[in-house]
Amino acid sequence: MALMSLGVTLINILLNRILVGVLELGIAGSATSTVLAQALGLVLLIGLRGFIGGMMPLNSLWQSRWTGNWRRIVGLGAPISLGFVGIALSAASVVLALHFAGSTDNAKTIAAHGIVTRIFGFAFLPIMAIAMAMQSIVGNNIGARLYTRSDAALRIAAGTALLYCLAVEVLLLSAGAVVGTVFVTDPDVIGKVGRMLRMMAAVYLFSGPVLVLGYYFQAIGQPARAALLTMVKSFVLLPVLIAATVAMLGADAIWLAFPLADGVVAMIATLMLAAALKVRGDAGIGFKAVETLS
């Protein structure tokens, strides 16, 4: 799954280069490249199934009934699936805020924001791979009641994600403008990319551990806690903070909403983890106690 996501993103970047950079189709080219990349990813997924062992055959879709247990399935799948809708909502909030703020160079600002979004999207893939790997390991060990091993998997994944995000943050804060030159040659857009990254990546190191913890709660069957960590930023915090920063500080301060949202989610994750540790200590067992005792 992680390789498929990486492949679709790389295809999207290549199509952006062709449709936007070469053919100069602008926003329409960016949207078209996204649709084409997703469609090609679906074709590759279906085509490669025959070469990957151990996968459920497609004809099983017709052999089993599609009704039953939908509430639990939707509850477990929604937090992660709706995260991508949240990304679109955040981008729409930025565009609307810039429009109503009366920014004089909206086109270049939106172009720079598109580049920054792509950079963060690419940087997100290893974090997602770490979280998904941890989720599989935790799910298997929780099912086998091997709570010590599931706890160890959570610690290793969270620590790895923290170190990775710290490295990404240092890179973006110190060389954000240089990264921007990979996408465009316009010095104004490159400068905006650098300024955006310096603000938006201010507390990026917390993003990885928060996502890992969200996937962990999903793995142990707690969709409410998973949703709080994976959805509240995009669906609640960012739209509110974007509107608030623009209203109080102006269009140039809009990018402060992102580190503020990351900080709030990190505090929520810390409180949730502290509560889980308390329950674990009281019960004398692994984090699974959070599910069984809450």
Q: Is the pLDDT of residue 288 over 60?
A: no
Question: What's the CA gap between 244 and 239, in Å, rounded?
Answer: 9
Q: What percent of the chain has pLDDT over 70?
A: 92
Question: Tokens 């979004």 map to which residue?
Answer: 117
Q: What percent of the chain has pLDDT over 90?
A: 28
Question: What's the CA gap between 21 and 17, in Å, rounded?
Answer: 5
- Tokens encoding 31: 């949207």
pLDDT at residue 262 in the model? 93
Q: Is the pLDDT of residue 291 over 70?
A: no
- Segment 25-41 shows an average pLDDT of 88
Rounded to the nearest integer, the mean pLDDT of the chain is 84
HEC profile of the chain:
CHHHHHHHHHHHHHHHHHHHHHCCCHHHHHHHHHHHHHHHHHHHHHHHHHHCCCCCCCCHHHHCCCCCCHHHHHHHHHHHHHHHHHHHHHHHHHHHHHHHHCCCCHHHHHHHHHHHHHHHHHHHHHHHHHHHHHHHHHHHHHHCCCHHHHHHHHHHHHHHHHHHHHHHHHHHHHHHHHHHCCCCCCHHHHHHHHHHHHHHCCCHHHHHHHHHHHHHHHHCCCHHHHHHHHHHHHHHHHHHHHHHHHHHHCHHHHHHHHHHHHHHHHHHHHHHHHHHHHHHHHHCCCCCHHHHHC
Quickly state the pLDDT bin for 111 (edges 50, 70, 90). confident
On the 0-12 / 13-18 / 19+ scale of CB atoms within 10 A, 125 is middle
- Segment 24-35 shows an average pLDDT of 87
Tell me: the pLDDT tens digits for 203-259? 999 999 999 999 998 888 888 888 888 888 988 999 999 989 988 888 788 899 999
Quickly state the pLDDT bin for 292 (edges 50, 70, 90). very low
pLDDT at residue 106 in the model? 77
Whether residue 249 contacts residue 260, with contact meaning beta carbons closer than 8 Å, is answered with no
pLDDT at residue 103 in the model? 63
Quickly state the pLDDT bin for 149 (edges 50, 70, 90). very high
Tell me: the pLDDT tens digits for 48-72? 777 777 777 777 777 777 776 777 7
Report the predicted TM-score, pTM, of the whole model to 2 decimal places.
Answer: 0.76
